[in-house]
Structure 1
């Protein structure tokens, strides 16, 4: 249902000629306009937020586009001048530790959502759809840590990855399939509450991502 809601939401944006920086209606109004439940709408908005296509601020509403730097000034320096290689290296250092922490803290609902996201990732038909579910997968892991600082950092990392100069391309189906299998291996280890294995599988995955960045190839 979430995928159908996401399609309706994207159609709504297109039909109303909304662009980056424009505000979306309130959650209640938007759910009524789309003919969907607020729960399904929240899931669709979370997917777009993880992909850097909308941002939400407490008391501010939901806006199209990436979060403006003025609303995340303490982390803005991370965005400035970071190359794809820099981002990949940072992720390799940090995310295995994040997933190990998340394995110990994740609720059954967190794990179910991660499993669902990994399945959606495996079904991606193109690079845009892959990126959407990939960003959501990594943000869900951060959210499962229950650590606001880690969650904020991953939101910024996802935003950095959306820049045209920093975005990893997964243009071929074989690459997407391979990465999806690696995501599923991470989730399987998390479900078994095996943090060390989950961290190792995440490290394997990020090494594969890093290898596909030109400056890291042998």
Structure 2
């Protein structure tokens, strides 16, 4: 005779047949309805890519073991879990690198490390730079690649410093895209108006004239009353 006994699940608060409950982890033995447990595992694996799945019971932080997951989920979801566990494990290998061919998906250990930085993929034969973890920089040594990267990054920083300035009020950097030196910060909630050249407050300039520019500013005029 089939039992019709039910009990309330502490997670979904529904009355569930006792036969639909299972322990969350073998370490804590908290009993959860299978539907809640599967929903949580599926979400963490597929939406978050997490393999450290805690017991759902409040204040319990025991992690579901490999065998716990295998006991609860179906074949497809377990394969997803197994695949993520494998990828996370090999990421911890210091000599491991993924192939940089976007259509490949393979990876391998490169025991020569920085001494012989060209890693050739066993699967697709694409070359990867072990040292920089990028597609191999053909025609350039690692030292030359470092120099080129430093030069490019330095030029980018110089360009940002030339073409942007921090708003004197909110300090968020803004671009000047032509026009006069009267700037208005477009950052939400700011709207501060200032001189691009010296940072002076344009409300004071409009009210009392160009004497409110900094004395080193080319727009400064001590005798001018109005802008």
Larger RCO: Structure 1 or Structure 2 (Cα < 8 Å, ≥ 6 residues apart)? 1
Same fold (TM over 0.5): no
Q: Which has the larger radius of gyration?
A: 2
Q: TM-score, normalised by structure 2?
A: 0.23
Q: Which has the higher strand share?
A: 2
Q: TM-score, normalised by structure 1?
A: 0.23
